[in-house]
Structure 1
Amino acid sequence: MIKKIALVIVGVLAFLVVWQWEWVSYGYMQAKGQLRIMLNTQPVSDVLNDPAYPDSLKRKIKLIGEIKRFAIDSLKLDPSGSYETFYDLKGKPLMWVLIGSEKYRLVPVEYKVPILGAFPYKGFFDETRLQQADTLLQQQGFDTRINEVAAYSTLGFFSEPILSNMLKRSEGQLAELIIHELTHGTLFIKNSLEYNENLADFVGDYGALRFLAQKYGESSVAYRDFLAAKAFYERYDQHILRGTSVLKHLYETFKPDTPIAIKDSLKWQTIAQIVTSSDTITDERSTTGARLVKKRRFNKLNLPNNAYFIGYLTYRNQQNQFRQEFENRFHGNFRKYLTYLKQTYPSL
């Protein structure tokens, strides 16, 4: 009897492997990447006591500890075992995400992940597998974009380490990143990635400002530069989001019999105008080098495609909604707002 049950289980598993081979293979690749990280981390205490590591790195690691305590004690994000270990990337990327979009509509390629729901991107630890997936999407007629990932959240399933590439960030950028990821571990709604990412961005921005104000004061360079950077990126985000509206309207004018050459010509003219007109955005930071990199990333020979705009729709399209709800309904009381969100939107 036991043998028969075992044979049935093996048969079912074999069927699932064949039926969902792509996801089984993908899951194995991701699990292998996650395991590699977990097996090669060091306790933070060991890094802080190791004379081989420079003091500048140790200061940033200690800062992350302060940010985490602030996020839990002051913002009331859920306690987490993350950021208690350190993983040295040795200058290599952590992983990549692949975004795909229809060529003449701002509609993402979606990936349905078991348990977690649908995602408008796919993550890869394996660069060869990434390039193969990118090539396949392009062959299928999609616009694509590959982004390096600075950090990610396993939503509390595992404890995330401090990654060496995080430590290149400024105090404000580091606080925004850590609080963003801790927000995912506190509240993550199935099949609502746009909501999840916009919420984490909102909480990350708000929390970083509050942390900097508490640690350095609102008159400090760290606080004023982060506030100015936030204002600049909000202007840039709104500019790109207005551009998505222009593109959507353009694509709606295309007819089934509109020649591809005309579609492409109008599409790239419009995108070029969106990119070029971003030069009018002002920046009040004390150091503005990042602004030039941000705005001059593209040129006439290297314009962003629809997948670039999909990224903004995913991460930044609902910022005003959260801000207005937070200020108008909860009068700036973040703890009450977070309690409301938790009660209204059950998390995974």
Structure 2
Amino acid sequence: MLLLMWLSGCASLSYLGQAASGQAEVMERARPIDALLADPTTPGELADKLRFARDVRRFAIDELGLPDNESYTRYADLGRPYPVWNIVATQPLDLTPVQSCFPVAGCLDYRGYYREEEARRHAESLIAKGMDVFWYGVPAYSTLGWFADPLLNSTIRYGRADLARLIFHELAHQQVYVKDDSAFNEAFATAVELEGFERWLRRHGDEAIRNDYQRNEARRAAFRDAMSRTRQRLLDIYQGPGSDATKLAAKQSALEALAAEYAQLKARYKWMGYDAWFDPLPNNAHFASVATYHRLVPAFRALFAEKEGNWTAFYEAVRALAAQDKASRHAALESRLPLGTREETTAAEGAQ
């Protein structure tokens, strides 16, 4: 543990201790899926989901070229809604997330806790310092192949489409991972998730699942578009002239306008799924979280199209990007983004 402290630099002994005990609990509770399926006491609904997950994992390996290891061959019920809670924090007039640095994983744009109360305390301590904070439950995470990641009760409750996407996403983290670049890692995994799921749909999906996917993606895309436009507005405010007080007032106006647009989207789609973000208004940390997972996704999907849907060629190209310095790889991805969504500040931000 002392060696880990020396390696991590920014992580406290107590934090590393809760991480170690939390991961140990996950592994201790995991049981082989095959054994659960052979057990007559396993509930029928759970057995059906486990069979489906087993088939999806095989599809990920055979069709998407994702790692073939022990991940998602076991299932663990942790007895709580989420295995971990993540905290994203920014300064009040900055959209750059504060990073936390750890052994192996490197520096991340968020900080995770295995116990909700500990996450709450850390979030409250950051809020007390005047920071913008967003904390939320995470249904799954990847240990990057260091452990055999199990399916969890927090993920098995998903519908089949979302469960398949989650498995593709988390296995993608084991395919390519770059230390100290959360935006690259999460956008890559999300791109694999989407491209992989659309291939799965063509092979195994029925009309009901396809229609549901299209409706949900339209809803999610509309929300991300609203967030992206407001994010750019906030960037312009923060980087523009004026006092901090003036910028904070402009920030408030931008967030209120977003809330009004969200209400319109909710009326159009009947359900959006982000109501908690607007009670109260979202803050910079919400925008940082969305950007980490989604802003560079179109660039990775464009790269996938350049490789004509060849997974091996795509992964090789992503690894080549990963080998570059952060500013260069982000500049290469920015060049593949649609016009109007590129950020001139990205290369400089990537060098930080």
What TM-score bracket applies, with the shorter chain setting the length? 0.7 to 0.9
Which structure: larger Rg?
1
SS class of match (1:96):
strand
CA contact (8 A) 2:11 2:100 kept: no
Q: Does 1:80 align with 2:69?
A: yes
- In structure 2, the CA distance between the partners of 1:253 and 1:16, relative to structure 1 (3 Å rule), is closer
Q: Distance in 2 between matches of 1:228 and 1:160?
A: 31
Change (3 A) 1:15 1:32: closer
Quote the residue 1:308 is aligned against. 286
Q: Evaluate the alpha carbon distance shift between residue 239 and residue 47 of structure 1 in structure 2; reply closer, same or farther with a 3 A threshold.
A: same
- Counterpart Cα distance in 2 of 1:55 and 1:15: 43
Q: Distance in 2 between matches of 1:77 and 1:320?
A: 20
Counterpart code for 2:231: T
Q: 1:4: which partner in 2? A: none
Cα 1:340–1:175, aligned 2, differ >3 Å: closer, same or farther?
Answer: same
Count the aligned residue pairs. 323
How far apart are the structure 2 equivalents of 1:103 and 1:282? 27
1:39, CA displacement in angstroms?
1.1
2:254 aligns to what? 270
TM-score, normalising length: structure 2 = 0.84
Q: Percent identity?
A: 26
Counterpart secondary structure, 2:67? coil
Return the letter of the residue paired with 2:175: T
Task: Give the drift of 1:246.
Answer: 0.5
Residue aligning to 2:90: 101
Report the TM-score when normalising by structure 1.
0.85
Cα displacement (A) at 1:306: 0.9
Specify which of 118, 121, 146 is matched with residue 110 of structure 2: 121
| Runs of 5+ unmatched residues, structure 1 | 1-9
8 Å Cα contact 1:176-1:204 kept in structure 2? yes
Letter paired with 1:244: R
Amino acid at match of 2:21: K
Distance 1:78 1:14, change over 3 A: closer
Residue 205 of structure 2 corresponds to residue 228 of structure 1: no
The one-letter amino acid paired with 2:303 is E
* CA-CA distance at 1:154 after TM superposition: 0.2
Relative distance call for 1:22 and 1:282 in structure 2 (3 A) is: closer
Contact 2:237 2:247 in 1 (8 A): no
Partners of 2:166 and 2:200 in 1: CA distance: 12
Deviates more, 1:119-128 or 1:154-163: 119-128
Q: CA deviation at 1:102?
A: 0.7
Deviations 1:142-176 (A, max 9, x none): 11111101000000000111101212212111111
Q: Are the counterparts in 2 of residues 102 and 143 from structure 1 also a CA contact under 8 Å?
A: yes
CA distance in 2, matches of 1:335, 1:207: 13
Q: Which residue of 1 aligns with 2:318?
A: 341
Question: Could you tell me whether the CA contact under 8 Å between 2:187 and 2:296 is conserved in 1?
Answer: yes
Tell me the SS of whatever aligns to 1:89: coil
Q: Deviations over 1:26-72 (max 9, x none)?
A: 11110100001111121112221233332121111111111111111
Structure 2 gap ranges (5+): 325-352
Secondary structure of 1:74's partner? helix
Superposition map of 1:252-331 within 5 A: 252-253=239-240, 255=242, 257-259=243-245, 262-281=246-265, 291-294=271-274, 296-299=275-278, 302-327=280-305, 329-331=306-308
**1:111 CA drift (Å):** 1.1
Letter in 2 for 1:320: P
Q: Distance in 2 between matches of 1:206 and 1:239?
A: 23
Deviation at residue 86 of structure 1 after TM alignment? 1.0
Q: CA deviation at 1:346?
A: 5.1
Q: Structure 1's 16 and 269: CA in aligned 2 closer, same or farther, altered over 3 A? A: closer
**Whole-angstrom CA distance in 1 between matches of 2:260 and 2:232:** 17
| Counterpart code for 1:179 | F
Match of 1:201 among 179, 190, 200: 190
* Cα RMSD, aligned residues only: 2.6
Please name the residue that 2:233 is paired with: 246
Q: State the SS of the aligned residue for 2:273.
A: helix
| Structure 1 position 135, deviation (Å) | 2.0
